[in-house]
Amino acid sequence: MRFRSGLLATCVVPLALCAGTGSAMAGESTTFKERCAAIASVMQGRWPAPSTRIQSASFMPDGSEPQFDPFEFKPNPTPRLKAHCLVDATMAERTGIEGQHYAIRFRMRLPLDWNGRFLFQGGGGTNGNIGHALGLVPGAGLTDPALNQGYAVVSQDSGHDNATNTDPARGGPMAFGWDPEARRNYAYASLQSIAEGAKALVGGFYGRAADRSYFAGCSKGGQEGLMFAQRFPETFDGIVAGAPGMSLPRAALAQNWDVQVFGTLLTADASGQRSVFDLAKVFSEQDFALVRQAVLDACDADDGVVDGIVGRYAHCSPARVERALEKVTCGTGKSGVCVTTAKLTALTRSLAGPRGKDGAALYTDWPWDTGIGSQDWSVWKLGLAQPPMPPLNVVVGGGALHGIFSTTPRSLGAGPQEIFEQQLAFDFIKDGDLIYRVSAPFTASAWEEMSARSPDIDSFRARGAKLIVPHGVSDPVFSIHDTVSWFREVDSRYTGRAGDFVRVFPVPGMGHCGNGPATDRFPAFQAMVDWVEKGKAPDRMTATAGPDSPWPGRTRPLCSYPAYARYDGKGDKEAAESFQCVGE
């Protein structure tokens, strides 16, 4: 039921605060503006956390543009927003053990034309910014924020501020990792506090609770979604957890592994130094073109059509790809273009994942897929040559592993070169277990606090909540193999019935949360809402290739794992209608 139809029957706050929503009439809009200005006084004594206080509340008219923090992702184009009340608030202000001032900040947008639903927007990376609270959901692109669809949306900074909680001697914005409570808030603890506060704000502003509550996020936001399902299962009716960082500390080990593996391809200068900026130059565009073609030669036709997409990625074994790579490997008597054995060995070792003592796997492996070498893949693994940019595996991964995912936190340095050199010296045999160690003042290991990988989501399942997990097959940060392995564990726990409440959707060719040679625009959020509200379990979603893909406008079905999209043999090869989801 939409809020407008039930307004008069349900509103129990004073009439001035309860006047209608959704109308274009100037009088109603003015009343809404007055309600927005009065929200701080309305909420006095109503917050679940008494420390909560509103810092600002502003009426935003139709057509307004959002403002973004300096550390925040800015969508392009910037969407024009429908009329709403913008609220910034804070809670749990405190002084950390190292003397820094901390607080949990959140931002909420409350639309004039409310649809009766609440959406928690997940964070990203190391968080540290309050977020834009627009409701940009995984797979939907940047043009239709959930706010404009009528959702009340909240975002948060997870308990630290990149602008103020920074210390050059402690990894810059990674400095919060030295404070146990700040680290715990980043891992999971801030999530429920914000959800409860946001729901209270919805109730205070509209005069009633939301009909439905949802979560959507990708990357760290995906990890947060799984944290809610596992630790706070009563909070949401449905969750979209895209490319979930369910194994954040292990993935950080893999990032350090990549730095060492690809670092072996660099030539040292006269002083013996290898430059982090040279990593972007070790593979040429031609190298990656040959690698991608080998992957396609080995596995493209497995889904019934040769179309530049490895639709049946789970059937594409490393052995098959490596046999195809032999044809493009440089060797004695080889003529024409080729890729050196050293480069292919490094790439193979990277995809095989990190190893520690006695050769034990420290994370998982990655599939061979067509997104390898794409810009989205390279910016993490190797960096970019133009404009010069060091790998995110260095500037994000290095600081995170040692500053946030270790209970003996340390800074690897102030600049990418210094971080890079220390990553090269990391000993996987000696220290590959650092993410499981406990050391005062940290009473739990980084793995215990950060991991969102448990198959035990009994309570989430019992209350009928739903979970959708889209994940790019070419994701260079979190491997699709980890997500699929987790789903298999969930399916085993529930005796083959995991699909009753959770669906994983691999996206061939897609990188981290989007991009790549892929059909990376898909309605995962709407599919989750339809599942919750209409009982429509999604077996497939129609995905579209964006303008930067090799095939703008192409459509394909994304199939619920373990099914894959197979060509019917006669229809339009560019249209999703010509493909069926079939079992492996």
Which residues, in sequence order, are CB contacts of 424 under 8 Å at separation 6+?
259, 260, 263, 274
Distance, in Å, from the CA atom of 189 to the CA atom of 101, rounded to the nearest integer, reads 18
Picking from 268, 275, 308, 281, the residue whose alpha carbon sits closest to that of residue 292 is: 308
Looking at residue 443, what is its pLDDT? 94
Phi and psi, residue 417, nearest 5°: -65, -40
Reduced to 3 states (helix: H, G, I; strand: E, B; else coil), residue 27 is helix
- Fill in the amino acid letter for 304: G
Looking at residue 79, what is its pLDDT? 81
Active site residue 482: no
Distance, in Å, from the CA atom of 284 to the CA atom of 288, rounded to the nearest integer, reads 7
Distance, in Å, from the CA atom of 494 to the CA atom of 474, rounded to the nearest integer, reads 29
How is residue 222 written in tokens? Answer: 């995906």
Catalytic residue of the set 29, 193, 219, 549: 219
Q: Are 111 and 147 in contact (CB under 8 A)?
A: yes
Active site residue 433: no
Picking from 364, 362, 382, 387, the residue whose alpha carbon sits closest to that of residue 372 is: 382
Picking from 171, 571, 242, 54, the residue whose alpha carbon sits closest to that of residue 557 is: 571
Other CB atoms within 10 A of residue 466 CB: 27
Picking from 135, 118, 31, the residue whose alpha carbon sits closest to that of residue 79 is: 135
How is residue 72 written in tokens? Answer: 């925040």
Strands 84-95 and 101-111: antiparallel
Distance, in Å, from the CA atom of 31 to the CA atom of 17, rounded to the nearest integer, reads 8
Distance, in Å, from the CA atom of 130 to the CA atom of 156, rounded to the nearest integer, reads 5
Reduced to 3 states (helix: H, G, I; strand: E, B; else coil), residue 239 is strand
Catalytic residue of the set 132, 160, 402, 512: 512
Distance, in Å, from the CA atom of 550 to the CA atom of 354, rounded to the nearest integer, reads 32
HSE-up of residue 483 (Cα within 13 Å, Cβ side): 33
What does the buried/exposed string (b/e) look like for 141-161 if buried means 16 or more CB atoms within 10 Å of the residue's CB?
eeeebbbbbbbbbbbbbbbbb
Radius of gyration over every alpha carbon of the chain, rounded to an integer in angstroms: 24
Other CB atoms within 10 A of residue 473 CB: 27
Reduced to 3 states (helix: H, G, I; strand: E, B; else coil), residue 329 is strand
Picking from 156, 128, 157, 132, the residue whose alpha carbon sits closest to that of residue 145 is: 132
For 446: left if phi > 0, alpha if psi spans -120 to 50, otherwise beta; the answer is alpha
Q: Please report which helix (H) or strand (E) contains residue 416, including its range.
A: helix 416-424
Looking at residue 13, what is its pLDDT? 34
Active site residue 512: yes
Three-state SS letters, 336-379? CCCECHHHHHHHHHHHHCCECHHHCECCCCCCCCCCCCCHHHHH
Catalytic residue of the set 161, 179, 237, 475: 475
pLDDT in tens, the chain (584 residues): 333 333 223 333 332 333 334 433 344 555 899 999 999 999 999 999 999 999 999 999 999 888 776 655 666 677 889 999 999 999 999 999 888 999 999 999 999 999 999 999 999 999 999 999 999 898 886 668 999 999 999 999 999 999 999 998 898 899 999 999 999 999 999 999 999 999 999 999 999 999 999 999 999 999 999 999 999 999 999 999 999 999 999 999 999 999 999 999 999 888 889 999 999 999 999 999 999 999 999 999 999 999 999 999 999 999 999 999 999 999 855 667 899 999 999 999 999 999 999 999 999 999 999 999 999 999 999 999 988 999 999 999 999 999 999 999 999 887 999 999 999 999 999 999 999 999 999 999 999 999 999 999 999 999 999 999 999 999 999 999 999 999 999 999 999 999 999 999 999 999 999 999 999 999 999 999 999 999 999 999 999 999 999 999 999 999 999 999 999 999 999 999 999 999 97
Distance, in Å, from the CA atom of 484 to the CA atom of 559, rounded to the nearest integer, reads 13
Three-state SS letters, 465-491? CEEEEEEECCCCCCCHHHHHHHHHHHH
DSSP string, 269-293: -TTS---GGGGGGSS-HHHHHHHHH
Strands 53-60 and 466-472: unpaired
Distance, in Å, from the CA atom of 20 to the CA atom of 27, rounded to the nearest integer, reads 10
